[in-house]
A and B are shown apart, each in its own frame.
Chain A
Amino acid sequence: MPEKSVYSANADLAPIIATSRVRVAEAAPLIRFSLRGGEAAASHAGTAVGVSLPLEPLTSIATDKVAAFWLGPDEWNLVIQDDDARAMFERVETALADTPHSLVDVSDRNRALIISGRKAAWLLNSQVFLDFDEASFPVGMVTRTLFGKAEIMLWRQAEDTFVIEAWRSFMPYVIELLQEASRELEAA
C-alpha cells in the first residue's frame, strides 16, 4: 500500500493474489453509511464525520480514517474506521436532526478489495470496461460500474491502487474472475 488509507488489508486473511506485479487483498471491516439527501445534509454529515463531502460528480475525499464517495447527486458512501458503529451513527443522525435525509448503516452489505501494483489497472480491465488512463480516471475518482455482471463501487486511491466494493454475495464472483485473469501473470 503506497499511502495510508481508510482501507487496510485484513491481516487475518491470506492475500487473494500475491504476485510481483499485482496484489489483491480483502480489506479489514469498516463502518459504511449510505447517506442520501441534499447539499445541506452533506454539509452537516461532513462536519460530523470530519471531512467535507464531495459535491462534484465521481469524486471522493479521503483521510486515513474516513472516506466520502460521491455516488449520485444525492448519494454518498461514507466509509469510516471506528470501533463503535452505533455511536458514529448516532453522531451523524444528531448532526442531521433538522435536515431531511436518509442515513442507513450498510457496513455489512459490502466487502472491499484492495488491488495494487503495476498491473492493477490491467487486471481490472479484464472485467471493467472503464478507461484507466490518468486523464480519464484520475486518482480520487470513484464510480459505480460493472465488474463482469456484478455491480461494484470502484475507487482509484492512488495511481496503482484501486478499491472495489461489492455486495457481499457478489464478492466470490469478483474474486474468482480476478484470480482467473491474474493467472497469466505467472506465465514465464
Chain B
Amino acid sequence: MTHEFRTSAGGRIDRSSPVEFTFDGKSYQGFAGDTLASALLANGVHLVGRSYKYHRPRGIVTAGSEEPNALVGIAREKGQNTPNLRAPQVEIYQGLNAESQNRFPSLSFDIGAVNDLLSPLFVAGFYYKTFMWPRSFWQRVYEPFIRSAAGLGKAPTDPDKDRYANYYAHCDVLVIGSGPAGLAAANAAAQSGARVILCDEQAELGGSLLHDATSMIDGKSAADWASETIKALSENDRVTLLPRTTGFGYYAQNFVALAERVTDHLANPDQSLPRERLWQVRAKEVVIATGAIERPLVFPENDRPGVMMAEAGRIYLNRYGAMAGKRVVIATACDTAYRTAVDLKAAGVDVAVIADLRPEPVGVHVDAARSAGIRVEGACVVTGTKGRLRVKSARLGRIRPDGSVTVMGEEACDSLLMSGGWTPNVSLYSQSRGKVVWDEEAGAYLPGPSVQHERSAGSCHGVYGLHAVLEDGYRAGESAARAVSSAAKRPETPSVSGGEAGAGGTLGALPHDRDPSRVRAFIDFQNDVTAKDVKLAVREGFHSIEHIKRYTTTGMATDQGRLSNMNALSVASKSLEKPIPQVGLTTFRQPYTPVTFGTFATTARGEAFDPVRRTPMHDWAVEKGAEFEDVSLWKRAWYFPRPGESMHEAVARECATVRESVGIFDASTLGKIEVVGPDAAEFLNRVYTNPFLKLGVGRLRYGIMLSEAGFIMDDGVVGRIAEDRFHVTTTTGGAPRVLAHLEDYLQTEWPDLNVWLTSTTEQWAVIAVQGPRARDVIAPLVEGIDLSTESMPHMSVREGRICGVPTRLFRMSFTGEAGYEINVPASRGREVWDAVWKNVEAAGGAPYGTETMHVLRAEKGYIIVGQETDGTVVPNDVGMDWAVGKKKADFIGIRSLTRPDIVAAGRKQLVGVLTKDPKVILEEGAQITAEASPALKTPALGHVTSSYYSSALGRSMALAMIADGRDRIGDTIYVPTAEGVVVVEIVSPVFYDAEGGKLVA
C-alpha cells in the first residue's frame, strides 16, 4: 500500500528521502517534508481516531492546527508521551512513533463505540442530567467512570526530561502568519527599516502560497515568489523569522506570547537544544495575518473518515503530493472548492461531481472546472454518506425551490471534500480584547475597531483574492511601520494572475430528506456535538451562546471552535429565531492552540524554580552532615546529626552542649539593615515600640515593630554603631517585608527625615557563639576589643578585628546563655568560622542548627514572630508590654494599642504549658480546651504555638496562646488529640534561668 495515494511528482516533499514511521504500531513510509497527516493520506489511511463521546471512527478533516479528529500521542521515550498533537502539524522523522487516541482495544474495533448505539442517551447536557443523583454515587461511581471515559489522550507519567527555553523579545512590528498577507506586511515593515518578527505555526513559511499551484506573482509561481521574499527577509538583520512558532496569546499592551517548537520535528535532536521556546514579545505594532478557516458542511453522517475540507484536499495534493482519494465527490457552497476539483483532476484524480448548494453556480472558478470536464450540479446537496471505516459513497439530493429535498441517487467515492465557505480567523483579534462586528455581506464576524496597536491583514479580516490580500498586507505592514517611524514605505504591489476571490458560502445545517430522528449531522467533530444538540439546548432554555457552548460543549475543542462556531451559531440563531449578531459569539481566549506545560514553565523548575540562597558557611555544614530546612529562600542548617543519631538525640545533645559549654551557629540569614543619617535615631524611635533616642553608641536594644493596626510584624536587635548609624537586624523571613515597610514610611510619611536605609543582609556573615565558654573561645581571636563584662556587657556592640578581619561584634543572646554574634564581611565568613570552630571544638563545643536554637529560646520564653504571633498579636499578648515605650508620644501602631478590642479582657496571652506526663510532646497548633470532653462547637481557649523536648528540663515543654492565660497560671486544662486527651498545666512561659543571671555573667 506504500504511497498508493501519492502523486507521481510535485509537492514540497523530498522524494529522495524516504522516512519510516509507525502509527498504532504499524510501519509506514513517507518522505521528508511530510506531516503525519499527509504521509498517512499518501498511504491511504484516513481513519485516525475515535470521537470523544460516541467513539465514532474519525478521519483527517483539515490540514492545519484546527484539526478536530486527527489527534495523536507521540512517544519518544517510555513515560514521555505528548498527547493531543494534531497530525497535520506533526512533521514526520525517521522512527516517529504515533498512536491514535480514545480507542480500546484498537482503532478499527473500539468497545467504547457502544456509546454510539446509545447515542439517544448522550444528548446535550447528558452529564449534567445523568450524574446528579444519588449524591453518594459521585465519588465512588460517577467520577471514576467519567475520568476513565472522558478526556483525549494519555498524560505522560514521568517527569518531563526535556528542557524549555525562554526569550524576551522586542520589536517594532510583529507579524503573525506568513501567508501572502503576512509576508507582504513583513516585507513592507522591513523595507521601512522596522525591527520585525514574523512567525508562523507551520514548519515552512508561506502559508497558502505553498499550495497555490496556479497563481503567478510577478511572473513567478506563488511558491517561488514566497521563497524569494522570505530569502530577502532572512538577509535583513532587523528581521527575525520564526517558523514552527504559534502566536498563542495576545495580552495587554501588545504583549504577545509565542511558542516555538524547536526540536519536535527532529529524529535525534541535539541534546543542547531546548525542546520548545517561549517567546515573550513586546511589540510596538502587531499585524494579525492568520487567514481564514474553511467551514465544514453540516449534513448527515458528515463525520465519516474520508470526508475532508476541500482546501485541505488541495493542500495535501499540491504541497505534499498526497491524494485524498481516487474518486472524489466535492460538496460545496463556495467557489474556492472548484480550485481543488481542478487541481485534483489535473493530478489524475477522478472527480465524480461537484455538488453545489447554489442553484446556478457561475464565475471563473466554475468555468475552469467545467472546461476541465468536471460535472457540476447546482442546487445539489449531500444528504448522507455510507461506509464503515471510510466513506464509500455519498447520497445526493436536489434542493427544490421551496427548500425541500428530493433524492438524486448515490455517488461512489473514497473521499468527499466539502466547503461551506470561509470564516475569518479572528481569534487573536478577539484575544486582544477587540470586539468583532457582524458583516452581513461577508456573512462573517470581522475585526472591529482596534483596542491595541494592531491591525488585521488579508482574509482574517475578510479580504479575499490573492491580489487584494497582497495589497492589504503591504498596507498593513506600511501602516504598522508608520506608527513607529516616519520612514515607512510601501512596496509596489506585484502583478498577480490567478488567485481570484471565490464567492459563496453557507452557515448551519443543510436541508435533507432523511428521518431527522435517525441521522446526525455533526457541528463539532471533536466534542461530538450535532445540530440536534444545539437545537435541544435552545429548547431547554439556553438562549445565550455562552450558555449553549457550555451546555453542549460545542466550540470547546482544541481549536476553540474556529471550525465549528459559525455553524453552531447559525443553528442556534435559527432555533432562537434571532439574527446571528443578536445571538453573539463566544470569546476566543489564550492560548490559541494547546501549549505544553513545559513551555509555560520554561526554566522555572527543579532547583531553578526559585533562587536557593546559601550562606558563606553552607558548604561547611554540608561537610559536617547537617540536615537543612528551608526558611524563605534560604537553606539553613537544621541540626547536625552524628552517625547513628536521630534528630531528637542530635538536638538534645546540641542543646546540652550550648547550655554546658559552647555552641556555634550560622546566623547569616538574619535580615540586616544599615540605618544611617542625622535623623536615624528619630526614625527608629518612630518605627519601634521601644525608645531609641537615648540608646548609647555601642549599645544594643531588642525592638518590636508593629503594623499601624498594632500587631507585631517583626522583631530584632538594633545596635548603635555611631550617633548617626544603626545596625538593625530583622527575622530571616521578614527582611524584605520590613525594609519595604520602613521605606514606605520614610518616603511617603516622613520625607523630611534625613535618614536612609541600606540592606546589608548579605554584606555580613554572622557567626553566633553561645554558651558559658563563648568568651573563652573567641577571646584569643579578637583584637582591639576588651571582652570583659565590665567593658563589654550583655547587649553591647564593639568594632574591632577577629582573625585579622574587621568585625562588628555583638554581645547578645537568643539562647539564654552568654554569647556573641560575630559579624564579618561575607567573603571572609568561612575563614573566620573555621578559626572559631577550631576553638569551639577544642573547648568541647558543637555546631547547632535552627532546631536547637528554637528549643533554647523557647526554654527562655522568647517568641518567634510568625510562630507565637500570627498577625493578630499585640505586645501585651506576648507579655512584652515592657518593650513599649510608655513615654513615647508616637510610634507606628501606637493608637491601635488602645482600641477597645485590644484592651478588652479575654485576649489570648502567651504562657507555658507542661504536660502531666513529661514524656508527651504536644503537637504545635493543637487546640486547648477548658474541659476534658467539651461539648461540640465549644470554642477553644487557645492553641499550642511551640512544643519541644527540653534537655535542660529533662521533660517536654510548650508555649501556648491562651485566653486570659496569665490569670490562669496553675490551672489544669486539656489538649484533645487523635490519641486521646492530654492533661496539661499552665505555667510561666520562662522555663530556664528566669532571673537571666547567665546572660550577664
**Interface presence of A172 (CB below 8 A):** yes
Known interface pairs A109-B763, A186-B272; A104-B758 also in contact (CB < 8 Å): yes
Task: Tell me whether B825 and A36 are in contact (CB under 8 A).
Answer: no
**Interface presence of A188 (CB below 8 A):** yes
Known interface pairs A101-B677, A177-B608, A180-B603; A109-B274 also in contact (CB < 8 Å): no
Task: Tell me whether A136 and B827 are in contact (CB under 8 A).
Answer: no
Task: Tell me whether B611 and A125 are in contact (CB under 8 A).
Answer: no
CA distance A117 to B825 in the complex (A): 33
**Interface presence of B168 (CB below 8 A):** yes
Task: Tell me whether B272 and A126 are in contact (CB under 8 A).
Answer: no
Task: Tell me whether A107 and B825 are in contact (CB under 8 A).
Answer: yes
Across the interface, name the chain B residue whose C-beta is closest to A169. Answer: B613
Task: Tell me whether B603 and A177 are in contact (CB under 8 A).
Answer: yes
> What is the CB-to-nearest-CB distance from A141 to chain B, in angstroms, rounded to a whole number?
15
Task: Tell me whether A100 and B611 are in contact (CB under 8 A).
Answer: no
**Interface presence of A138 (CB below 8 A):** no
Task: Tell me whether B826 and A168 are in contact (CB under 8 A).
Answer: yes
**Interface presence of B273 (CB below 8 A):** yes
CA distance A74 to B677 in the complex (A): 13
List CB contacts (< 8 Å) of A127-147 with chain B. 127-131, 133, 136
Chain A residues within 8 Å of chain B by Cβ, number: 45
Task: Tell me whether A29 and B827 are in contact (CB under 8 A).
Answer: yes
Selected from B270, B611, B678, B827, the residue in CB contact (under 8 A) with A170 is: B611
Of the listed stretches B102-110, B159-167, B470-478, name the one at the interface; the rest are far from the partner chain: B159-167
**Interface presence of A184 (CB below 8 A):** yes
Across the interface, name the chain A residue whose C-beta is closest to B255. Answer: A129
> What is the CB-to-nearest-CB distance from B267 to chain A, in angstroms, rounded to a whole number?
14
Task: Tell me whether B762 and A169 are in contact (CB under 8 A).
Answer: yes
User: What is the 8 Å Cβ interface bit string for chain B, positions 145-171, against chain A (1 contact, 0 not)?
Assistant: 000000000000000000101111110
Selected from A102, A128, A169, the residue in CB contact (under 8 A) with B758 is: A102
Task: Tell me whether B165 and A181 are in contact (CB under 8 A).
Answer: yes
Selected from A100, A102, A110, A125, the residue in CB contact (under 8 A) with B167 is: A125
Task: Tell me whether B274 and A129 are in contact (CB under 8 A).
Answer: no
CA distance A102 to B282 in the complex (A): 38
**Interface presence of B519 (CB below 8 A):** no
Say which size band chain B's interface belongs to: 35 or more
CA distance A160 to B762 in the complex (A): 30
Task: Tell me whether B607 and A176 are in contact (CB under 8 A).
Answer: yes
Known interface pairs A149-B611, A183-B272; A104-B674 also in contact (CB < 8 Å): yes
Chain A residues lying within 8 Å of B165, measured Cβ to Cβ, are 126, 181, 184
Chain A residues lying within 8 Å of B755, measured Cβ to Cβ, are 102
> What is the CB-to-nearest-CB distance from B636 to chain A, in angstroms, rounded to a whole number?
12
> What is the CB-to-nearest-CB distance from A43 to chain B, in angstroms, rounded to a whole number?
16
Selected from B195, B274, B608, the residue in CB contact (under 8 A) with A133 is: B195
List CB contacts (< 8 Å) of B734-786 with chain A. 754-764
**Interface presence of B612 (CB below 8 A):** yes
User: What is the 8 Å Cβ interface bit string for chain B, positions 361-385, against chain A (1 contact, 0 not)?
Assistant: 0000000000000000000000000
> What is the CB-to-nearest-CB distance from A153 to chain B, in angstroms, rounded to a whole number?
13
CA distance A168 to B270 in the complex (A): 33
Chain A residues lying within 8 Å of B610, measured Cβ to Cβ, are 149, 173
Task: Tell me whether A170 and B167 are in contact (CB under 8 A).
Answer: no
Task: Tell me whether B826 and A108 are in contact (CB under 8 A).
Answer: yes
CA distance A149 to B677 in the complex (A): 31
List CB contacts (< 8 Å) of A53-108 with chain B. 74, 86, 100-108
Across the interface, name the chain A residue whose C-beta is closest to B829. Answer: A108
Task: Tell me whether A109 and B195 are in contact (CB under 8 A).
Answer: no
> What is the CB-to-nearest-CB distance from A108 to chain B, in angstroms, rounded to a whole number?
4
Task: Tell me whether A173 and B195 are in contact (CB under 8 A).
Answer: no
**Interface presence of A148 (CB below 8 A):** yes
**Interface presence of B676 (CB below 8 A):** yes
Across the interface, name the chain A residue whose C-beta is closest to B825. Answer: A108
> What is the CB-to-nearest-CB distance from B602 to chain A, in angstroms, rounded to a whole number?
9
Across the interface, name the chain A residue whose C-beta is closest to B672. Answer: A109
**Interface presence of A52 (CB below 8 A):** no
Chain A residues lying within 8 Å of B756, measured Cβ to Cβ, are 36-37, 74, 101-102
**Interface presence of A187 (CB below 8 A):** yes
**Interface presence of A34 (CB below 8 A):** yes
Across the interface, name the chain B residue whose C-beta is closest to A110. Answer: B762
Task: Tell me whether A169 and B614 are in contact (CB under 8 A).
Answer: yes
> What is the CB-to-nearest-CB distance from B947 to chain A, in angstroms, rounded to a whole number?
31
Chain B residues lying within 8 Å of A185, measured Cβ to Cβ, are 272
> What is the CB-to-nearest-CB distance from B141 to chain A, in angstroms, rounded to a whole number?
45
User: What is the 8 Å Cβ interface bit string for chain B, positions 2-45, against chain A (1 contact, 0 not)?
Assistant: 00000000000000000000000000000000000000000000
**Interface presence of B554 (CB below 8 A):** no
**Interface presence of A51 (CB below 8 A):** no
Task: Tell me whether B612 and A172 are in contact (CB under 8 A).
Answer: yes
Task: Tell me whether A180 and B608 are in contact (CB under 8 A).
Answer: yes
User: What is the 8 Å Cβ interface bit string for chain B, positions 94-117, against chain A (1 contact, 0 not)?
Assistant: 000000000000000000000000
Selected from B166, B273, B603, B677, the residue in CB contact (under 8 A) with A100 is: B677
Selected from A102, A169, A176, the residue in CB contact (under 8 A) with B676 is: A102
**Interface presence of B280 (CB below 8 A):** yes
CA distance A66 to B615 in the complex (A): 29
Selected from B166, B282, B607, B754, the residue in CB contact (under 8 A) with A126 is: B166
**Interface presence of A150 (CB below 8 A):** yes
Interface centre among A149, A150, A168 (most CB of B within 10 A): A168
Selected from A36, A108, A172, A181, the residue in CB contact (under 8 A) with B827 is: A108
Chain A residues lying within 8 Å of B408, measured Cβ to Cβ, are none
Task: Tell me whether B754 and A100 are in contact (CB under 8 A).
Answer: yes
Chain A residues lying within 8 Å of B607, measured Cβ to Cβ, are 176
Across the interface, name the chain B residue whose C-beta is closest to A150. Answer: B611
Selected from B170, B195, B604, B763, the residue in CB contact (under 8 A) with A108 is: B763
Task: Tell me whether A148 and B604 are in contact (CB under 8 A).
Answer: yes
Task: Tell me whether A187 and B272 are in contact (CB under 8 A).
Answer: yes
CA distance A107 to B755 in the complex (A): 21
Selected from A86, A105, A127, A188, the residue in CB contact (under 8 A) with B763 is: A105
Known interface pairs A125-B167, A127-B166, A168-B826; A173-B612 also in contact (CB < 8 Å): yes
Across the interface, name the chain A residue whose C-beta is closest to B613. Answer: A169
Task: Tell me whether A106 and B763 are in contact (CB under 8 A).
Answer: yes
CA distance A5 to B542 in the complex (A): 71
> What is the CB-to-nearest-CB distance from B521 to chain A, in angstroms, rounded to a whole number?
49
Chain B residues lying within 8 Å of A170, measured Cβ to Cβ, are 611, 613
**Interface presence of B806 (CB below 8 A):** yes
CA distance A100 to B612 in the complex (A): 37
CA distance A141 to B416 in the complex (A): 63
CA distance A131 to B676 in the complex (A): 36
Selected from A149, A176, A184, A186, the residue in CB contact (under 8 A) with B274 is: A184
Across the interface, name the chain A residue whose C-beta is closest to B680. Answer: A102
Across the interface, name the chain B residue whose C-beta is closest to A173. Answer: B611
Q: Given contacts A86-B806, A125-B169, A184-B273, could you give 7 more A-B pairs where the C-beta distance is less than 8 Å?
A: A102-B674, A102-B756, A103-B676, A108-B826, A169-B611, A173-B611, A184-B165
Task: Using CB atoms and an 8 Å cutoff, list the residues of chain A in contact with chain B.
Answer: 29, 34, 36-37, 74, 86, 100-110, 125-131, 133, 136, 148-150, 167-170, 172-173, 176-177, 180-181, 183-188
Show 9 A/B contacts (Cβ-Cβ < 8 Å), sorted by A: A36-B758, A101-B677, A102-B676, A104-B763, A109-B759, A130-B168, A176-B607, A177-B603, A187-B273
Closest 9 CB pairs of A and B: A36-B756, A102-B676, A102-B756, A169-B613, A173-B611, A131-B170, A100-B754, A108-B825, A108-B826
